[in-house]
Amino acid sequence: MDNINFHISESDKIGLVGKNGAGKSTIMKLICGLQSPTSGQIDKPNHIKIGYLPQIMEHHKGKTVMEETMTAFSAMTDLENELEEIGKELAERQDYESKEYLDLITRMNEINDVLLIEHSEPPAVQAEKTLLGLGFKDDDFGRNTETFSQGWNMRIELAKILLSRPDVLLLDEPTNHLDIESIEWFEDYLKSFRGSILLVSHDRRFLDNVTNRTIEIMVGHIHDYKVPYTKYLELRKERLQQQMAAYENQQKMIEKTEDFINKFRYKPTKSNQVQSRIKALEKLDRIEIDETDNSTLTVKFPPAPRSGDVVFKGTDLTVGYPQKVVFRNAEIEIRRGEKVALVGRNGEGKT
């Protein structure tokens, strides 16, 4: 990326789009401070609270699902401890008119205001609702995080981020490990989220339902559209068509002007006109076509031999482990030519 500029406002819900390797994840890391730009700067208010969900994260270890999720409230616990210390100090002081005493009162009021908002609902209740929304069951809460897959640990991390009440959400492919029900719950959450969102996703429907702005990264540059994804595709097509039409018209004009110059360059009677056209070309603002990435991957498969009419048939299928049966007594038949969607919650046995 080179010399890019953009600004995230308070109510922006931005879809960050571009081909793999274009720099989407890099932009998120730059905003978080996990990477530094080669040149230029990133400005953020000091008080801003950012919640960042990367594509790849470490497995949670050593806690149950609920214990790990409740760490999202560690900042509130710190505030409660600070409030308790302030209360003890105020009880011991008698310099009621001093600046230090008044500063303690001010700080106590600030903390109480924050806790009043954060404690609109008990933290454990907030955690339960969020975990259930993301697809966990009640009996999952007491299980160790190590017993869950990477995808389910990603959901725990997402729950912690949402419960921490950030001002800005940076979400890098958040729906990769979510099932349909969890995605619908997550969509509703993001629609009502009052902060800013920067979102990377290959799910067009999800982008359309959540975002109100689209930033495209193309060959190291960005194009900013104040619309959701599908509308962005339409506006992008229109912009490129208009740009190409203007470019082609200008090229025709340049060619016509150069033909005139070459034809009459050595005719004294046309010298003024020739010089006028030469100066006009020198001052002309040349229209440039935005560079686009048209690279594609071509894959060829050899012709497949014709299968039987029944491609697969399963009767009385039971799959599971000593501690858990994933499913039992399943019946399934797939016939040649059918396109089958296999759906279900994570852990139900699709794989």
User: Does the pLDDT of residue 259 top 70, yes or no?
Assistant: yes
Q: How many domains does the chain have?
A: 2
Q: Is residue 175 part of a domain?
A: yes
Mark whether 255 and 199 lie in a shared domain: no
User: Does the pLDDT of residue 76 top 80, yes or no?
Assistant: no
pTM exceeding 0.85: no
Mark whether 58 and 191 lie in a shared domain: yes
AA letter at 274:
V
Extract the tokens encoding 69. 């999720």
pLDDT in tens, 100-123: 889 999 989 988 887 776 666 788
Mark whether 46 and 174 lie in a shared domain: yes
Domain of residue 158, CATH code: 3.40.50.300
Q: Is residue 47 part of a domain?
A: yes
Average pLDDT over residues 132-140: 94
Domain boundary (283, 300, 316) is at 283
AA letter at 268:
P
Q: What is the 3-state secondary structure (H, E, C) of the chain?
A: CCCCCCCCCCCCEEEEECCCCCCHHHHHHHHHCCCCCCCCCCCCCCCCCEEEECCCCCCCCCCEHHHHHHHHHHHHHHHHHHHHHHHHHHHHCCCCCCHHHHHHHHHHHHHHHHHHHHCCCCHHHHHHHHHHHCCCCHHHCCCEHHHCCHHHHHHHHHHHHHHCCCCEEEEECCCCCCCHHHHHHHHHHHHHCCCEEEEECCCHHHHHHHCCEEEEEECCEEEEECCCHHHHHHHHHHHHHHHHHHHHHHHHHHHHHHHHHHHHCCCHHHHHHHHHHHHHHHHCCCCCCCCCCCCCCCCCCCCCCCCCCEEEEEEEEEEECCCCEEEEEEEEEEECCCCCCCCCCCCCCCC
Task: Provide the domain limits for residue 275.
Answer: 239-283
Q: Is residue 151 part of a domain?
A: yes
Mark whether 90 and 208 lie in a shared domain: yes
Mark whether 153 and 276 lie in a shared domain: no
Q: Is residue 265 part of a domain?
A: yes
Extract the tokens encoding 306. 């014709």
Mark whether 148 and 263 lie in a shared domain: no
pLDDT in tens, 13-34: 999 999 888 899 999 999 998 9
Mark whether 263 and 189 lie in a shared domain: no
Q: Tell me what pLDDT residue 53 has.
A: 95
Kindly report which listed range (56-60, 178-182, 279-283, 299-303) carries the lowest average pLDDT score. 56-60
Domain boundary (230, 265, 300) is at 230
Mark whether 73 and 156 lie in a shared domain: yes
Among 112-116, 206-210, 286-290, 346-350, the range of highest mean pLDDT: 206-210
Q: Is residue 335 part of a domain?
A: no
Domain boundary (207, 230, 253) is at 230
Average pLDDT over residues 207-235: 93
Distance CA 9, CA 170 (A): 14
Mark whether 123 and 143 lie in a shared domain: yes
Distance CA 316, CA 330 (A): 5
Residue 188 pLDDT grade (very low, low, confident, very high; cuts 50, 70, 90) = very high
Q: Is residue 2 part of a domain?
A: no
Mark whether 166 and 257 lie in a shared domain: no
Q: Is residue 52 part of a domain?
A: yes
Mark whether 251 and 207 lie in a shared domain: no
Q: Is residue 333 part of a domain?
A: no
The contacts found for 2-8 with CB under 8 angstroms, 24 or more apart, are 2/220, 2/221, 3/40, 3/221, 4/220, 4/221, 4/222, 5/222, 6/215, 6/222, 6/224, 8/168, 8/196, 8/198
User: Does the pLDDT of residue 143 top 70, yes or no?
Assistant: yes
Mark whether 174 and 249 lie in a shared domain: no
Kindly report which listed range (1-10, 191-200, 308-317, 334-343) carries the lowest average pLDDT score. 1-10
Q: What are phi and psi of 317, to 5 degrees?
A: -80, 130
Q: Tell me what pLDDT residue 57 has.
A: 82
Percentage of the chain lying above the pLDDT 70 cut:
98
pLDDT in tens, 285-335: 888 877 776 777 889 999 988 889 999 999 999 988 877 888 899 999 999
Q: Tell me what pLDDT residue 77 has.
A: 77
